[in-house]
C-alpha cells in the first residue's frame, strides 16, 4: 500500500507544467494530502477485498458465498461448528467440478466421510457367459449399486419389541442419498445398499 507522501507526489505529477503550477509544500500539496488520505483508505479496502474473493479467506463476503451456493444438498451445513468449517465447505462447494465417473463419486463419498463402493453392471453377452454367472438385462449398464454403511442398525429384541415389529431396522443416510441423486449422471439409475442392514 502506498504512503500518503507517495500519493501526493503522484497527484502532483498530474498537475500541468508551466507558470500556474503551484510550488511544492503550498496550498495544493495540503489539498492533495487531504485527498491522499481517502485514496489510501480506498487502496486499503481494495487490498482487503482480495481476501474476500476466495471462500477460504473470506470474512465479510462468506455469507454471500453461502447465499449464492444455497443450502448444501448433503445437509453438511447444518453440522458446522465454526467459521473455519464454513469457509472449508464453501470453498469445497464453490470449486467442485462435476464428473460422471465412478472414481469421482468415490471421491465424493470420501468428502462426505462415507466408505462407499460402487458396482457397475454389464449386460450379458452370448459366448462370454460362464456357468453360474447371473444374467443381466440390456440397459442395466446404466445402473450403479452404491453400497454404504448403515447409519444405525437396531436388531429385534425379545421382550423389548412386539409382534409385528421387523426383525431388524436401520436408518438410511437420506442426506447422502439425496446428494448422490442430485449430482448423478442423468442417464444413470442409483440403487442404495446398506452394509450391516
Do both 104 and 186 map to the same domain?
Answer: yes
Do both 88 and 104 map to the same domain?
Answer: no
Q: Is 155 helix (H, G, I), strand (E, B) or coil?
A: strand
176 backbone dihedrals φ, ψ, rounded to 5°:
-70, -40
Average pLDDT for the chain:
84
pLDDT of 58: 92
Do both 106 and 185 map to the same domain?
Answer: yes
156 has a pLDDT exceeding 70: no
101 phi-psi bin (left φ>0, alpha ψ -120 to 50, beta other): beta
Domain assignment present for 189: yes
pTM, two decimal places: 0.56
Do both 143 and 183 map to the same domain?
Answer: yes
Q: Which residue has the higher pLDDT, 195 or 60?
A: 60
Per-residue pLDDT of 67-97, as tens digits, reads 999 988 777 888 888 899 999 889 988 888 7
Structural domain including 128 reads: 99-195
Do both 173 and 134 map to the same domain?
Answer: yes
Domain assignment present for 58: no
Q: Are 73 and 92 in contact (CB under 8 A)?
A: no
Do both 157 and 183 map to the same domain?
Answer: yes
> Radius of gyration of the chain from Cα atoms?
31
Identify which of 66, 40, 42, 62 has the alpha carbon closest to the alpha carbon of residue 52: 62
Do both 88 and 168 map to the same domain?
Answer: no
**Total of domains in the chain:** 3
197 has a pLDDT exceeding 60: no
E strand map for the chain: 117-120, 143-149, 152-155, 168-171, 189-195
Do both 164 and 126 map to the same domain?
Answer: yes
Contacts (Cβ under 8 Å, ≥6 apart) of 36: 4, 7, 8, 11
Q: How far apart are CA 135 and CA 161, in angstroms?
A: 40
Identify which of 157, 178, 175 has the alpha carbon closest to the alpha carbon of residue 166: 157
Do both 103 and 90 map to the same domain?
Answer: no
Amino acid at each position: 500500500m502506498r504512503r500518503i507522501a507517495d500519493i501526493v507526489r503522484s497527484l502532483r505529477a498530474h498537475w500541468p507544467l508551466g507558470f500556474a503550477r503551484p510550488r511544492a509544500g503550498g496550498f495544493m500539496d495540503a489539498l492533495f494530502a487531504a485527498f491522499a488520505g481517502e485514496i489510501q483508505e480506498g487502496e486499503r479496502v481494495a487490498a482487503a477485498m482480495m481476501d474476500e474473493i476466495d471462500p477460504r479467506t473470506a470474512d465479510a463476503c462468506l455469507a454471500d458465498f453461502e447465499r449464492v451456493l444455497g443450502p448444501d444438498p448433503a445437509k453438511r451445513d447444518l453440522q458446522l461448528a465454526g467459521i473455519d468449517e464454513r469457509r472449508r465447505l464453501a470453498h469445497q462447494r464453490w470449486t467442485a467440478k462435476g464428473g460422471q465417473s465412478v472414481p469421482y463419486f468415490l471421491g465424493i463419498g470420501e468428502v462426505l466421510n462415507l466408505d462407499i463402493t460402487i458396482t457397475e453392471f454389464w449386460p450379458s453377452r452370448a459366448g462370454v457367459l460362464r456357468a453360474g454367472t447371473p444374467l443381466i438385462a440390456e440397459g442395466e449398464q446404466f445402473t450403479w449399486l452404491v453400497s454404504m454403511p448403515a447409519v444405525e442398525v437396531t436388531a429385534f429384541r425379545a421382550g423389548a419389541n412386539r409382534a409385528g415389529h421387523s426383525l431388524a431396522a436401520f436408518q438410511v443416510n437420506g442426506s447422502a442419498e439425496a446428494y448422490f441423486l442430485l449430482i448423478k449422471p442423468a442417464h444413470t439409475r442409483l440403487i442404495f445398499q446398506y452394509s450391516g442392514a
